[in-house]
Amino acid sequence: MPELPEVESTRRRLVPSMVRARITAVDLRRPDLRGPFPRRFAARLTGQTVNALDRRAKYLVASLSSGETLLMHLGMSGSFRTLPDGPARRAEALDPHDHVVFHMSSGRAIVFNDPRRFGMMELVAAGKLARHAVIGRLGPEPLSSNFDGAALARACRGKKTSLKAALLDQRVVAGLGNIYASEALHIAGISPTRRASILATASGAPREAAHRLADAVRFVLEKAIARQSPGTYRDDRFLVYDRAGERCSKDGCSGVIKRRVQTGRSTFFCPVCQR
């Protein structure tokens, strides 16, 4: 499943073709994805200019000149690609899993492909995004200035859940997924099984571990974004993820990576250097 770095990489690739360009036509090649497309979806998009393309957690957020917001999620297998557009190109055969095509005034066609059809596209009315059922409940973006050790400590103060579970709580940090939560905890040298409350003092002030973990979250995400390539959702350079039974990669550590299940998800960690 695409995680935050893949979504951010997708956003950056789409910006040159979409932002400040007008949507000249929309081809819907089926009536639904995860759910039905919004009422008059193609008609409401046609003629609108994309003023900005942002990311919120794992959602792509396109701000339209109509005031509406096009909210898109890749689901489990969704991806975008861009093609040269024009009358001659529109007649070319598309992949059976190419479900939506946005034709842009930039001369590019933006194609959404989703074999498993767990992706989502939604139109949010002007001024309603902050009250959206999902977007309105999200915590701080891990790559924003609003996310630091103090913010992480405030969110985890008094929590009895594990640190790994807390990091996957979208109200604590928006968009962080299973892979990068494990990676960040390893870099920070903190056990995923410890209570989330260890990050804060009784008054809610951040402990040193909170700053260390917030920095590690930012580091693993920025590193992952930097090495993304189109269509690549796996990377063999993970430090602990999917490496059970292998030696820990930290200098001087004699530990062996272990796997355990937490809240239904696989956690990978080093029992020696993660305390």
Burial class (CB in 10 A: 0-12, 13-18, 19+), 206: buried
245 within a domain of the structure (yes/no): no
| Phi, psi (degrees; rounded to nearest 5) at 2 | -60, 130
Mean pLDDT of the chain: 94
186 within a domain of the structure (yes/no): yes
Domain boundary among the residues 137, 169, 194 is at 137
**Pair (10, 128) in one structural domain:** yes
CATH code of the domain containing 48: 3.20.190.10
- Is pLDDT of 256 > 70? yes
Q: Grade residue 229 by pLDDT with cuts at 50, 70 and 90.
A: low
**Pair (173, 116) in one structural domain:** no
Q: Return the pLDDT at 103.
A: 95
Per-residue pLDDT of 161-213, as tens digits, reads: 999 999 999 999 999 999 999 999 999 999 999 999 999 999 999 999 999 99
**Pair (75, 155) in one structural domain:** no
Q: Is the distance from CB of 182 to CB of 192 less than 8 angstroms? A: yes
Domain range for 189:
149-236
Positions marked active-site: 2-3, 58, 265
**Pair (132, 24) in one structural domain:** yes
Q: Grade residue 1 by pLDDT with cuts at 50, 70 and 90.
A: confident
- H or E segment and range at residue 124: strand 120-124
254 within a domain of the structure (yes/no): no
269 within a domain of the structure (yes/no): no
Q: Return the pLDDT at 93.
A: 65
**Pair (208, 183) in one structural domain:** yes
262 within a domain of the structure (yes/no): no
pTM: 0.92
**Pair (52, 79) in one structural domain:** yes
Q: Which two tokens stand for residue 17?
A: 């073709």
- Nearest to residue 114, comparing CAs of 82, 79, 81, 83? 79
**Pair (17, 102) in one structural domain:** yes
29 within a domain of the structure (yes/no): yes
Q: Return the pLDDT at 86.
A: 73
**Pair (112, 34) in one structural domain:** yes
Per-residue pLDDT of 53-100, as tens digits, reads: 999 999 999 999 999 999 999 999 999 999 998 765 665 668 999 999
Q: How many domains does the chain have?
A: 2
Per-residue pLDDT of 126-161, as tens digits, reads: 999 999 999 999 999 999 999 999 999 999 999 999
Q: Return the pLDDT at 87.
A: 61
- Is pLDDT of 222 > 80? yes
